[in-house]
Amino acid sequence: MNNATYLLDKNSGVYMADPSARVFGGKLYIYPSHDREAGIPENDNGDHFDMQDYHVFSLDDIDGPIVDHGVILDVQTIPWSGRQLWDSDVAEKDGRYYLYFSLKDKNDVFHIGVAVADKPEGPFKPQPAPIKGSYSIDPCVLKDDDGLYYIYFGGLWGGQLQRYRNNKAQECGAEPAVNEPALCAKAAKLSAGMLEFAEEPRDLVIVDENGQPLKAGDEDRRFFEASWMHKYKGKYYFSYSTGNTHYLCYAIGDNPYGPFTYKGVLLTPVVGWTTHHSIVEFKGKWYLFHHDSVPSGGKTWLRSMKVVELKYNPDGTIQTIQGQQE
């Protein structure tokens, strides 16, 4: 099954990736990263993904016209910025909107920053420094039913997660051996003010059907990047990318910290090195937002946003969507 449609004209020459979709005030807002042709050779550290700003898009209906509200944050306006404005997400609290974003500082180390706005379409004003104790990439925020907010983040290779253990930077960080437990995404409660962690980030452990943590060598199932958390019928669904094996997978848990039991593949590989996604309910249906590189002829650093309906089975598992291969 794949009836995915592109959100922007495939011939527009505008490339947006990593779509984070949120519903505010009955309208759908999409916060993507903004790909560009930077002239940097492709490599495993992701240096060719040299994004410089964020736009926000909105829709009143899933198949209606999409509005580009323009630039909402630029790397040049962020006081602590170095380069590479990667994935982001937005949360609302008490009428204010908080944009959480991945960015390298002037020492080429990834941290998570916050920018604040009075409207979901911005513009967003960045805080003078990143979140204390933050590192790596791909923030996602869950507002739980009790009003508490949780942030999830992390990404291997260019996302630098392998450089850390127990929230401390390692002098010679590396991935675990193939038979050792895989590195985990990180989870932390946010402070009441939404600008800091309220606690030390914890490991978000994904286990197999026997309750054993996934191993680093289990590259078809283990976490690599692209955290997303949503709730469905009281359960917590953590979805993520396997990176170098190009799957979007998901695991289910009973609380926002886990552990999460691996359940299957959301999306099979698409054209492009990997994919990045979000899942949201809008007007009574669930949707998977993701991207691929078909319109750019397979250039992994020039990606295009897509959306497809997401369907659940009666037991709460999710039906696998087949990624477009040409």
Among 87, 18, 28, 61, smallest CA distance to 280 is for 28
Which residues are designated catalytic? 18, 225
Is residue 181 within 8 Å of residue 213, measured between CB atoms?
yes
Is residue 222 within 8 Å of residue 215, measured between CB atoms?
yes
Is residue 292 within 8 Å of residue 16, measured between CB atoms?
no
Dist. CA 53–CA 33, nearest whole Å: 7
Dist. CA 20–CA 276, nearest whole Å: 9
